[in-house]
Amino acid sequence: MDDLLDYLGTAERAVEAAVAVVRSGIGRERSISGKGDRDFATDLDYAVEDQIRAFLAEETPGIPLLGEERGRTGDTDSHYEWVLDPIDGTINFAHRSPLFGISLALTRSGMPVVGVVQAPMAEERFSAALGHGAALNKQSLKTTGPAELSSAVVALADFPFGPDAERRTQRRFALLQRLVPKVQRIRMLGTAALDLCWLASGRVDAVLHDRINLWDVAAGTVIAREAGALVTDLDGVDYGSGAMSVLAAGPQVHRALLAELG
């Protein structure tokens, strides 16, 4: 377990170095690269990823890295892998919203075991390592959440884009019709990493994403779990290697949401 604390320290230093890159670019004109239907990356997405890649290549040369923008590189025989979303919430960032973060996780045999999510504009760093708890700016986090679904603030993913968006949007409308009368509020923050961190810190009470990439939530799942939340896929299976969806909440709200999805 002590090795995980060492890796957590490495991840925090890597993210801190990348925050300087973000801050140096805030307020400047952005270069944008299209990635498909209503999706894009900015020059800072690439700059942050390159900064963290260079740092981790020096600090942990035997561990491969999967990044949203440049894919997977390194020794694929390793049981460990870094997983990076250089700017989670790119659309928010490009529109000058502070709701974005740098998300870096370490997985072991496909399961996230270390997570760091930093929101540069809020000066907040969420961090966790398996078995060592979660923290916000070094202060311990413990989420409890409401006992009833009717008191829960539920964070959902943005409406879909890309292939199959129309069918998935119709499914989202159906989900909203079921949930809106039964929960206190619905929120769409536009950043899955902060959704899970806000769950850990009690700012929302549940997170539900029906389709998600590993780099979006790997770090956040560790933070939410170590703060006391249940984190599964939409079938109720513990979130881990190969999962394509995520449902996270305290035990009672989690159980109620699973029933609504069933």
Q: Where are the domains of the chain?
A: 2-140, 149-261
What is the predicted pLDDT for the residue at 96? 87
pLDDT band of 165, cuts 50, 70, 90: confident
Supply the pLDDT for residue 39. 55
Percent of the chain residues topping a pLDDT of 90: 72
Identify the pLDDT of residue 42. Answer: 83
Tell me which CATH code domain 149-261 carries. Answer: 3.40.190.80
User: Residue 87 corresponds to which tokens in the numbers above?
Assistant: 């700017």
Architecture (CATH level 2) of domain 2-140: 2-Layer Sandwich (3.30)
Give the pLDDT score at 1: 46
Q: Helix (H, G, I), strand (E, B), or coil: what is residue 107?
A: strand
For residue 35, pLDDT over 70 is answered with no
The string of pLDDT tens digits covering residues 186-202 is 999 999 999 999 999 99
pLDDT band with cut points at 50, 70 and 90 for residue 17: very high
In a 3-state reduction of DSSP, which class is residue 39?
strand
| DSSP 3-state of 116 | strand
Query: Which DSSP helix (H) or strand (E) runs through 153?
Result: strand 153-156
Q: Which of 149, 150, 151, 129 is nearest to 141 (CA)?
A: 129
Most confident of 30-34, 68-72, 237-241, 253-257: 253-257
- The Cα–Cα gap between 19 and 86 comes to 10
- pLDDT at 123 > cutoff 70: yes
- Quickly state the pLDDT bin for 34 (edges 50, 70, 90): low
Considering all CA atoms of the chain, what is the largest pairwise distance in Å, rounded to the nearest integer?
52
Give the model confidence (pLDDT) of 71-118 as tens digits: 898 877 899 999 999 999 988 988 889 999 999 999 999 999 999 999
**In the predicted structure, residue 133 carries a pLDDT above the cut 70:** yes
